[in-house]
Amino acid sequence: MRIGAQNLAENEADKYKIIAVDDEEGIIDSLTVFLERSGYKLVGVSDPVKAIEIVKKEHFDLMLLDFIMTPLHGDQVVEQIRKFDKELYILLLTGHKDIAPPLETIKRLDIQGYCEKSDKFDQLLLLIESAVKSIDQMREIKRINNELSETNQKLEKAYMESIETLRYTVEAKDPYTKGHSDRVAQYSVLIGKKMGLSEEDQKTLLIGGLFHDIGKIGVPDTILRKPDRLTDEEYSEIKNHPSIGAHILAPATIFQDIIPIVKHHHEKYDGKGYPSQLKGEDIPLFARIAAIADTFDAMTSKRTYRDELSLETVIAEIERCKGTQFDPKIADVFLDILKNDYHEIEEIREKY
């Protein structure tokens, strides 16, 4: 016997949770005695339907599963289990050499081992030893992945906090920016939702909106705080902020997805924007979304040289700029929001 109780540490007995499923009580009893002598503890179940429910509620590392059973065969049991548990290690047993599931079925259901029943259980014990080693490896890989994930989350949090500090510095430099980035982020997410974008894409729009003006950290305060309209030379300085922002974020891997928003939210659909004069769908999708959110917030914000524009004026301006400044499809989505769901816009404006 390869694994004896005398060779297995006391605390090893509870290390692996094993469930055996066989509609013959005698087989369950024999497996229980054999495995306990080998240092393992076993939960035996003679009803395959009940076994599925038990595995749903309780964690097991290894399942020993009979193939021919009533009312469900082993492959049918695995079919159900794989719907909610992809990690359970399964060894399929059969008492009939000529009755076995096709190899294709074993692969499709991710059944890790197959064994013919025997009175001596020697082959089964070898497979259990192999299973235990695999389970240990899976645990170690999961542990390492969890540690890496925690480390990455800490690094991401630290970097996010650093960029947030820069964002707040920009807001201190430019009173107009305060609340503007938050609203642009929320408007962008609202548009993304209406377009049916995924939650992951909506998250990118949110973060991109928050940091879209981060490059203004490199624009002189005299220009940012100027109460009057900017001269052409001053406007040229302002136009550098998308490229500056992209440069600031470039070293961080976690911000690669939002850099297109930061760099290209001032591009125009007709190719007359900046900094790259991109045209049409060459402009990244998220940048096209942020562009209309950014412009809307600018039009509906009070400036020292003008009051905020009325909703009717804003709608007319967006209609006029479809196909020139804005992507016409995205503009239509936003116009629908303004005309039919304006309460969602008001909720954002009240919050920020």
Residue linked to tokens 């929320």 = 186
What is the pLDDT at residue 3? 39
Residue 272 annotated as catalytic: no
Do the domains at 10-144 and 155-351 have one common CATH topology? Answer: no
pLDDT over 70 (residue 22)? yes
Question: What's the pLDDT at 5?
Answer: 41
**In this predicted model, which residue has the larger pLDDT, 295 or 5?**
295
Q: What is the pLDDT of residues 105-164, one digit of tens each?
A: 788 888 888 888 777 788 888 889 888 888 888 888 888 888 888 887 887 788 778 777
CA torsion angle 188 189 192 193 (round to 10): -150
Q: Which fold has domain 155-351?
A: Hypothetical protein af1432 (1.10.3210)
What is the pLDDT of the chain when averaged over all its residues? Answer: 88
Q: In the chain, what are the domain boundaries?
A: 10-144, 155-351
Stretch 48-63: mean pLDDT, rounded? 95
Tens of pLDDT, residue by residue over 12-21, are 546 889 999 9
Of the candidates 41, 86, 178, 216, the residue annotated as catalytic is 216
- Interior CA angle at 328 toward 326 and 329, to 5°? 125
Q: Residue 178 pLDDT > 80, yes or no? A: no
What CATH architecture applies to the domain 10-144? Answer: 3-Layer(aba) Sandwich (3.40)
